[in-house]
Chains A and B, each alone.
Chain A
């Protein structure tokens, strides 16, 4: 319905993930899983067996070799059916795999990447504190001996409940730009507090407290002799994170759209299917236009990332557009369902809840707007 020209490998990936979704994730199963709200470990393991978790991990580290576009396809297809699983998947392939493959030191890569590709090790991004200004960081890493002591509090860390490793953003000196550290999740001084959210149940969100958590110098992302500045690293981390959220939001939009479309074809009022009313047609047409537009933006960013180009602007645009259309498709989809959309027995309500999560995930849209403006020279 809304496919790009995919190459033959991408087509195979798409078919494989669609088969997986059809077989493993029927609608009623997902409804049940959402109700339970647990981390979908079983499905992530199954995805890793199919090689999907290794799509950002080089073969040398037991991965499938980098395939950013492929990972976006997987995220998108998963999100159409089960957004929370897509969120976990994105954290693993983009937030962890792609980040470490691009920025990790040799040691960090061999320590973490094989586990990430196998779905046996989870790394969570512990970046944000004040919600609106992701760069304003109060967590501190005080140099001590051959390492650092990190203290602070990180808010709303996805996968935080299950994480074996946290990628923690912390300030090392008063005026210094913050640096990134790989922090062992079991290190003394770490506390995790579960946070309940409206949707994306299973994403295992926590607030993470760090109280004089000890890390060695090697824990600095990329090592002490890293090639990039911390600011450059952070930009990469964020860009990968946003790409995942964009793909996920795009999938949510299409999932909601698909539900609404089939309801419009079957629900009869006034002796005709409601899809025959041009007002409903227009609603669905509008959504379709915007979804396809967002799809171009998301894959444009994915292609730029694959080509190794800087994709800050591309991914910012993609995330803004995809998250907005996700919420719109879900809300308008609910409207097409009428009262039934409000019932927990129907799935569209879950998209309404999950979509709102993409709106606020990563960096807020208004901060992204400022970033784009800056890149335009404003």
Chain B
């Protein structure tokens, strides 16, 4: 047992693991990937078993967990079906977390109960065609009209946008690059909102969409955090970044751990039938090295999480974590492809799915290059 996790957290890990084993065995994961549809059935089961309350404050009936609970959950889920971690983000991150970090009490009261019982899904709409890494470059605008604002523009790569009830939409409300962004809770049933899923290499079923806003009206009350938060969107987002990086790191760790385990099992079989003593030493060392990197990533990740929990300054650490875990995940799956040979290349083998899933983790939530920009800047460069 890991000293850094308390009993509750250990129990959460066990519970999540048990859920995954029962509800998302590899054959189910394979089928869901092939279908590529949003995994509503399993999401409903997660809701029914209380998982949507893990990071909701006790006063709202949740379990009051924080970043460590989220990471445990995301890591375990990612071990079998990474995309399910992301769709869970439509509740745990873009719903529960955003509302509790940046929402006002009225908004929390209005949505948290429904999020916890599986009624609501939220998505987070920031990226635009010309605003990817340069997120502050967004031009989707919200103009004042009678009684509120009118949103026009488009977003791209918004996960869960066609299934969500609320799209947390970041808009340009003033020319100032950072102090001219406002975040709105947009009801997606509203006329003028349209989302179209993008076909992708991996993370199939995440419902990652292009989104169009045409004269979508919102009231002032729908400003995330309330009227006082007008033009505060950037600042609000910054508060989410540490958590987002760590959660994505946990996804990469989950994938890496499964791939490593598969490699070990595979190599054991090969060793059994090999006639030559020590035939696989070089391959073993490759695996050992990756195992060391994954373990280092875990240590860094949970150390950074602890810093977040202690409210210590840790932007550099979370950026390092995201960089390291995502790149390690890529290295591990690449080694997997090399070692598993043609077997790993067939669609019957889960490795090919992880190989398709992993590359996005060094892109989404800030690319590896952006993480390095942050780290070097914080080192005074």
**Footprint of B on A, CB under 8 Å?**
128, 130-133, 136, 155-156, 195-199, 268-270, 277, 279-280, 327, 331, 334-335, 338-339, 341-345, 349, 352-353, 356-357, 359-361, 364-366, 369-370
In the A-B complex, list the 6 residue pairs whose CB atoms are closest, starting with the nearest: A344-B199, A196-B347, A349-B201, A198-B352, A360-B341, A269-B134
Given contacts A130-B273, A197-B346, A331-B359, contact A364 B134 (CB under 8 A): no
A contact residues around B367 at 8 Å (CB): 335, 338
Assembly CA distance A372 to B112 (angstroms): 62
Q: Nearest Cβ in chain A — how far from B182, in angstroms?
A: 22
- Judge if B43 is at the interface, Cβ distance under 8 Å: no
- A352 and B338 contact, CB distance less than 8 A: no
Interface assignment of B156: CB less than 8 Å from any CB of chain A: yes
Contacts of A364 in B (CB 8 A): 338-339, 341
Closest to A334 in B: B359
Question: Which chain B residues have a beta carbon within 8 Å of chain A's beta carbons?
Answer: 127, 130, 132-134, 137, 156-157, 198-203, 270, 273-274, 279-280, 282-283, 330, 334, 337-348, 352, 355-356, 359-360, 362-364, 367-369, 372
Min Cβ gap B124→A in Å is 14
A-B CB contact pairs (8 Å), 21 listed: A132-B270, A136-B273, A197-B346, A277-B369, A331-B334, A338-B363, A339-B132, A339-B156, A341-B363, A343-B199, A343-B201, A344-B199, A344-B201, A349-B200, A353-B356, A356-B345, A356-B355, A359-B337, A360-B341, A360-B342, A366-B338
Q: Are A196 and B346 in contact (CB under 8 A)?
A: yes
Contact indicator A342/B346 (Cβ below 8 Å)? no
Q: Are A280 and B337 closer than 8 Å at their CB atoms? A: no
Contacts of B199 in A (CB 8 A): 343-345
Given contacts A331-B334, A360-B341, A369-B282, 4 further A-B contacts (CB under 8 A): A277-B369, A335-B359, A357-B345, A364-B338
A345 contact set on B, CB distance < 8 A: 198-199
Query: In the complex, A366→B270 CA distance in Å?
Result: 13
Q: Which residues of A contact B133 (CB under 8 A)?
A: 269-270, 338
Q: What A residues does B347 contact at CB under 8 A?
A: 195-198
Q: Bound complex: CA of A74 vs CA of B269, how far in Å?
A: 39
Contact A339 B342 (CB under 8 A): no
If A197-B345, A356-B345, A360-B342 touch, whether A342 touches B337 (CB-CB below 8 Å) is no
State in angstroms the CA–CA spacing of A365 and B340 once bound together.
11
Contact A269:B132 (CB < 8 A) given known A198-B347, A335-B368, A357-B345: yes
Contact B372 A279 (CB under 8 A): yes
**Closest CB of chain B to A228's CB: distance in Å?**
25
Cα–Cα, bound, A128→B343 (Å):
12
Distance in angstroms between the alpha carbons of A131 and B270 in the assembled complex: 9
Distance between A42 CB and nearest chain B CB, rounded to angstroms: 25
Using A331-B334, A342-B201, A366-B283 as known contacts, say yes or no to A352 and B359 having CB atoms under 8 A apart: yes
Other-chain residue from A130, A132, A195, A331 in contact with B346 (beta carbon distance below 8 A): A195
Chain A contacts of B130 at CB under 8 A?
268
Which chain A residues lie closer than 8 Å to B337 at the CB level?
327, 356, 359-360
- CA A335 to CA B279, docked complex, whole Å: 35
Q: In whole angstroms, what is the CA distance A269 to B373 when docked?
A: 14
Residues in A neighbouring B341, C-beta threshold 8 A: 131-132, 360, 364
| A128: contacting residue among B132, B202, B330, B342, CB under 8 A | B342
| A-chain residues with CB within 8 Å of residue B348 when the two chains form the complex | 195-196
Q: Evaluate whether A131 and B342 lie within 8 angstroms (CB atoms) in the complex, with A270-B134, A335-B368, A339-B127 already known.
A: yes
Residue picked from A198, A199, A361, most chain B C-beta under 10 Å: A198
- Complex Cα–Cα for A338 and B365 (A): 11
B132 and chain A: residue at smallest CB distance: A338
The listed residue (A133, A270, A339, A357) touching B363 by CB distance below 8 A is A339
